[in-house]
Chain A
Amino acid sequence: AIQLTQSPSSLSASVGDRVTITCRASQGISTALAWYQQKPGKTPNLLIYEASSLESGVPSRFSGSGSGTDFTLTISSLLPEDFATYYCQQFSTPPYTFGQGTKLGIK
């Protein structure tokens, strides 16, 4: 199975900060990667698909990049509602694995 490793596992940041989360795949997956946001007690919400395509309705401060094995999710300027846990997921080859998550907290 393809393993996804996110870094960092947690980070603290302030409103207005630029934040980058990394996802590394154990083998090449082209651009078959998605990013999700999950707030406590809520369902996951799709942010990015195909590594860099912004899902409809998602604010433009979220962006994704990468291909092959290395991917990033960037939030250009944090708002209070962005403090949540973020997951990457590969949909190249089953099982369609998720990263372990990155918890973004308030500094």
Chain B
Amino acid sequence: SAVISQKPSRDICQRGTSLTIQCQVDSQVTMMFWYRQQPGQSLTLIATANQGSEATYESGFVIDKFPISRPNLTFSTLTVSNMSPEDSSIYLCSVTSGGNEQFFGPGTRLTVL
């Protein structure tokens, strides 16, 4: 298993600003993912964070809006840029380490005013 922490756990931000969310894993993992969960809804994959190269984004998500870094096998960041109220969501980091089980972080609850 993997233990994942995210910072911050929650934040309230002003429209037009940016927020960087950190994801730290207690062991080296193969794959790291970023998801968005809008209020009362399911999870939508934003991108796969690739170590040493650019992230792979899903349809509807772009690097300018959601830049992602993954400098090593245990850490990744997701930035939500130029925020609007529609970006209010829970942002979740998840990892896999060879098998098909995903382990999720506790999430970052973002509110944009």
A is bound by B = no
> CB within 8 Å of A: which residues of B?
none
> CB within 8 Å of B: which residues of A?
none
